[in-house]
Amino acid sequence: MKYNNPITIFLFLSLSFLPSMQNKLTPDYYKKTCPTFLDTVRRIVNEKQHNTPSTAAATLRLLFHDCMVGGCDASILVTSNAYNKAERDHTVNLPLSGDGFDAVLRVKNVLELECPNVVSCADILAAAAGELVANSGGPTLTVQFGRKDSLESKISSSENQFPLPNMTMSQVITLFTKKGFSVQEMVALIGAHTIGMSHCDQFAHRLFGFSKTSETDPAYSPEYAAGLRKLCENYTKDSTMAAYNDVITPVKFDNMYFKNLRRGLGLLATDSALFTDPRTKPFVETYADDEGKFFQDFSRAIEKLSALDIKTGKEGEVRSRCDSFNSLN
């Protein structure tokens, strides 16, 4: 490959400007306009996490679901009305726990008193998720700010944007690649399953009548499968039944999720597949052996996720209520 033809040089120069163009966010965006911002986020979300330990996982997943569709712009927080069906009503978003929404709304309520109309809901969500990861024992994330909130939220935008537990690893990789993530970054991000829960209907096919030869998925350790069968025995009648994603240290943000995958303790089919697929297995091994490396890679990947397609200036607004646009449209 030669680099001296004009088109190649042009491409090279424009590409080399991309990182600085995308870097519209800064760590001290609210330093002058809302100096209490980070302290307030910390105080409110840590208090909520203390009373409701499901908050951290709920908020982290909410950030993931916000950022995957049209970027990190709080479009996930908008509620539907008579004129508009919003993102959060898409089937893929229905299981999102109310604790994440509540954490953001609580922070917003306080910030609207401290510095009205200044802090975007998208920034609150990113800050809250970062703080809660650290609060759960995970890495300290360098979250940057300056996101504007979206001017729309459409249920149809969520179609085909999310990985599902019944997808093949190739489908999952394609999805993350489309958003600019490498396989390694993807594996690090899925390490978020070190906290939180999944409802039985998301993995029940692995427990009841899995195949002609095996009632349960042989990728599960037998004891784990037996425990899950018991836990989920009434799941068709009681849809609230759910299991911890990380059965060993369910509320601690650590690398136990990856260690679990080696022992047949991956809850979702895609979790188990990370350990069997030769494209992802080496990263699972690395992260299972080295928590520091997992923390480092997770931090970079989540910072990248939380800067996806962010809106600035007139592309968005600072909502005064996180669940609705400033003007009815």
Catalytic positions, written as ranges: 65
The binder of ligand NAG chosen from 234, 239, 276, 326 (CB under 6 A) = 234
Residues at the interface with ligand HEM (CB under 6 A): 54, 57-58, 60-61, 64, 95, 97, 163-165, 172, 189-190, 192-193, 195-199, 202, 245, 268, 270
Q: How far is CA 42 from CA 8, 103, 322, in A?
A: 47, 11, 18
How far apart (Å, rounded) are the C-alpha atoms in residues 30 and 248?
39
28 is annotated as contributing to ligand binding: no
The binder of ligand NAG chosen from 14, 166, 174, 214 (CB under 6 A) = 166
185 is annotated as contributing to ligand binding: no
Work out whether 164 is an interface residue with ligand NAG (CB under 6 A). Answer: yes
What φ, ψ does residue 130 adopt, rounded to 5°?
-60, -45
* Span near ligand NAG by CB under 6 A; candidates 12-20, 56-64, 134-142, 164-172: 164-172
Secondary structure letter of residue 91 according to DSSP? T
Tokens of 205: 């096919």
254 is annotated as contributing to ligand binding: yes
**Residue 30: alpha-carbon gap to chain centroid:** 24
* Span near ligand NAG by CB under 6 A; candidates 18-26, 127-135, 159-167, 317-325: 159-167
The binder of ligand NAG chosen from 233, 303, 315, 323 (CB under 6 A) = 233
Question: If contact means CB under 5 to 8 A according to the sort of partner, which of ligand HEM, ligand NAG, none does residue 172 touch?
Answer: ligand HEM
- 229-252 b/e with 16+ CB inside 10 Å = b? beebeebeeeeebbbbbbbebbbe
Cβ at position 190, least distance to ligand HEM in Å: 5
Task: Between 172 and 307, name the residue whose CB sits nearer to ligand HEM.
Answer: 172
Residue 283: CB atoms within 10 A of its CB come to 23
How far apart (Å, rounded) are the C-alpha atoms in residues 110 and 192?
28
How far apart (Å, rounded) are the C-alpha atoms in residues 314 and 197?
38
Cβ at position 29, least distance to ligand HEM in Å: 23
Binding residues for ligand NAG (CB under 6 A):
164, 166-167, 231, 233-234
